[in-house]
């Protein structure tokens, strides 16, 4: 475990390095950090004992014996070129802001992304900024890759943890296209394009490529890159931007002395140490459709109410990546009170027969809906 001296304090200034191409670098998006309730309301009339998190009862995750226990909320973000998972991320962030206690709880996000569109990753980074604005310490763990837009997100964190052989950086912007103007000209065809505005669509699929058009597009890329650099520099002011913002990519171990990351270790090591220290760790994931016939049978037999996010009793340990003591947080179709296998013993017996002993443990997962 390598740690850069003087870097990576989760209570210190957020250090981040920016994102993937198109870095909507203004991704400060302190995006209406409307962090509703950051802790349980002692005057609330709701009964929190059942541990169901709903809009009317968002503090159930911190109720009971775990009310005074610091909680580590864990999210995963596996980004594509359009950062489409931001749809789930924004919901998860909103939920955490309702449940978490500022100054006590913290958030860890496992990021894996090669970057993508400026607008998509700019919005994703803005969602993470909501957590920082709510004074919730934010750690980004990178096991494989966080380049371009992925690093734009990571830069928002108070602490960046990267595996030794992960890919980090690529603070740059690019655009590419195929132009078929010469090909259609040889075929005797002519492309007709009507534009209003000299800077409108200067490069297109069928239109002729002109030096003026190329110059305009290059100026646009330079503006985005400048915004990207400013985003990174503001969040991680110790970086030498001329050294790291040229689009280059580094291994996690090499990124440490450059200041792009704060700690070199895997997310397993980082989370494992938190569990060993007795921290309450809750992972939140999107609920996915069940495509297994036995799972569909189980879902129908246990459907008793609206789908809610349930947080089991903290005294019952779950498992995350092999670590004991990590609590489940998963969406169910029942609102509590007899839901689950206890309400359908014959289904449990059927699944045990079909899938073998221990099937329930293998199917255990963390979900958010």
Note whether 124 and 153 are within 8 A (CB). yes
Helical ranges in 159-246 per DSSP H = 181-186, 211-235, 241-244
Catalytic hit among 18, 148, 166, 170:
148
Torsion on CA atoms 126, 127, 133, 137, rounded to nearest 10: -120
Which residues, other chains included, contact 177 with Cβ-Cβ below 8 Å and sequence gap of 6+?
203, 205
Which residues, other chains included, contact 337 with Cβ-Cβ below 8 Å and sequence gap of 6+?
50, 304
In the three-class reduction of DSSP (H, G, I as helix; E, B as strand; rest coil), residue 270 is classed as helix
The structure tokens 């007899």 sit at 338
For 105, other C-beta atoms within 10 Å of its C-beta total 23
- The Cα–Cα gap between 290 and 180 comes to 45
Note whether 128 and 155 are within 8 A (CB). no
For 132, counting Cβ atoms within 10 Å of its Cβ (0-12 exposed, 13-18 middle, 19+ buried), the class is buried
Closest CA to 72 of 61, 56, 58: 61
Catalytic hit among 9, 44, 78, 200:
200
Q: Is 361 a catalytic residue?
A: no
Provide the token pair at 185: 């000209």
* Beta-sheet pairing, 323-327 with 318-320: antiparallel
Q: Is 200 a catalytic residue?
A: yes
In the three-class reduction of DSSP (H, G, I as helix; E, B as strand; rest coil), residue 322 is classed as coil
The structure tokens 């789908």 sit at 307
* Beta-sheet pairing, 263-264 with 2-3: antiparallel
- Consecutive H or E run containing 119: helix 118-133
Catalytic residues: 148, 200
């Amino acid at each position: 475990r390598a740690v850069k001296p003087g870097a990576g304090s989760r209570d210190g200034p957020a250090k981040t390095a920016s994102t993937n191409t198109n870095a909507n670098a203004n991704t400060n998006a302190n995006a209406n950090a409307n962090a509703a309730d950051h802790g349980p309301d002692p005057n609330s009339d709701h009964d929190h004992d059942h541990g169901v998190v709903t809009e009317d009862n968002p503090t159930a995750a911190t109720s009971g014996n775990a009310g005074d226990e610091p909680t580590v909320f864990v999210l995963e973000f596996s980004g594509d070129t359009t950062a489409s998972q931001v749809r789930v991320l924004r919901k998860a962030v909103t939920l955490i802001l309702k449940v978490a206690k500022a100054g006590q709880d913290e958030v860890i996000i496992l990021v894996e992304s090669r970057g993508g569109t400026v607008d998509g990753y700019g919005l994703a980074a803005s969602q993470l900024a909501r957590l920082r604005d709510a004074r919730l310490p934010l750690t980004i763990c990178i096991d494989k890759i966080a380049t371009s837009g992925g690093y734009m997100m990571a830069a928002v964190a108070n602490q960046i943890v990267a595996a030794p052989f992960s890919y980090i950086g690529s603070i740059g912007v690019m655009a590419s296209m195929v132009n078929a103007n010469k090909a259609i000209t040889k075929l005797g065809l002519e492309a007709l394009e009507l534009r209003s505005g000299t800077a409108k669509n200067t490069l297109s699929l069928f239109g002729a490529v002109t030096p003026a058009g190329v110059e305009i597009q290059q100026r646009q890329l330079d503006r985005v890159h400048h915004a990207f650099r400013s985003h990174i520099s503001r969040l991680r002011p110790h970086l030498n931007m001329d050294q790291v913002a040229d689009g280059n990519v580094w291994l996690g171990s090499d990124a440490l002395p450059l200041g792009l990351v704060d700690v070199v270790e895997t997310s397993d090591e980082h989370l494992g140490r938190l569990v060993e220290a007795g921290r309450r760790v809750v992972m939140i994931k999107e609920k996915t459709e069940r495509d297994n016939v036995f799972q569909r049978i189980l879902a129908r037999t246990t459907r008793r109410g609206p789908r809610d996010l349930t947080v089991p009793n903290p005294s019952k340990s779950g498992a995350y990546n092999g670590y004991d003591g990590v609590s489940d947080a998963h969406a169910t179709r029942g609102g509590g009170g007899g839901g689950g296998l206890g309400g359908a013993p014959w289904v449990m017996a059927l699944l045990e027969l079909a899938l073998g002993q221990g099937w329930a443990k293998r199917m255990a997962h963390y979900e958010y809906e």
